[in-house]
Amino acid sequence: MSLKDKTIFITGASRGIGLAIAERCARDGANIVIAAKSDTEQAKLEGTIHSAAEAVEAAGGKALAVRCDIRDEAQVEAAVAAAADRFGGIDAVINNASAIFPRGTSDVPMKRYDLMHQVNGRGTFMVTQKCLPWLEKAENPHIIALSPPLDMRPMWFGPHVAYTSAKYQMSLCILGWGEEFKGRIAANAIWPRTAVATAAISNILANDEAMKSCRKPEILAETAYRVLNKPAASFTGNFLIDDSFLYDEGERDFEQYSYVPGIELLPDFFVPDDVPAPPGVKIMDVSLGH
């Protein structure tokens, strides 16, 4: 398995899960396009496209930092053109950028509703659409979205219908692309079994003790890396839970992804009951969705 000289276009890669995926792919010598909004340091958020580019190159890859708001069609087109011009094409797109505001209907300002739907569903569709001409020319092209299985039980909609419907738009894209591009371009979704320690989750939990019960972004980075190395013609249309997929791939050491070894982990939204945790993985009997 190797992604050497492959060009990976990653949205929201200035920090968190997107950056972890970028660094993992860079270890193979991949070309990483860091498409994100953060080009200057912010007081409450660490990381910019420039610091991410430095991290990618330190890991062994080549980086292109492009300031890009994926709600803006002209900016997305410019970012894709810059990527293709710099590296000669695009082999994979990782739709990582996402907006989250899991509140009840009366507590969601319309600007938050619009942000989630513009970034999550529309942004994922548009970025992939603009990358498509290059993916069609690639040897083993992949589309990945950081989005959940389409579990339509009311328990996932009742507490935060605006967020759920926005996030499921990403998954509906994967469902459709898995069929539309079958045999040519892989389209898969990856999702964490547990909460992952990122700035977005920190704002939701607002609790240092709860953050200790999260996993590191590296578990999703390893998941994405292994998906990207699968044959695009046959491995497609999957909705993968990170640790179950990695277990099937032969991984047995899941403690490496925990901040506190042995601690019970906080479950994430949208994890189906019929995908059990690997042996030895301890999950709290609670849900972020309630």
User: Over the stretch 85-109, which tens digit does the pLDDT of each residue have?
Assistant: 999 999 999 999 999 999 999 999 9
- Residue 115: predicted pLDDT: 98
Side-by-side strand order, sheet with 142-146: 62-67, 31-36, 7-11, 92-95, 142-146, 186-191, 239-241
The CB density around residue 4, as the number of other CB atoms within 10 Å, is 12
Residue with tokens 């389209």: 187
Tens-place pLDDT, residues 196-210: 988 766 666 656 677
- Is a pLDDT exceeding 50 seen at residue 6? yes
Using a cut of 0.85, tell me whether the model's pTM lies above it: yes
**Catalytic choice (113, 163, 225, 257):** 163
Q: How confident is the model at residue 42 (pLDDT cuts 50, 70, 90)?
A: confident
Mean pLDDT of 114-126: 98
Tell me whether residue 163 is one of the annotated catalytic residues. Answer: yes
**Ramachandran angles phi, psi of 109, nearest 5°:** -60, 145
Q: What is the mean pLDDT of the chain?
A: 94
Tens-place pLDDT, residues 154-184: 999 999 999 999 999 999 999 999 999 999 9
Query: d(Cα 242, Cα 258) in Å, to the nearest integer?
Result: 13
- Residue 114: predicted pLDDT: 98
- Is a pLDDT exceeding 70 seen at residue 185? yes
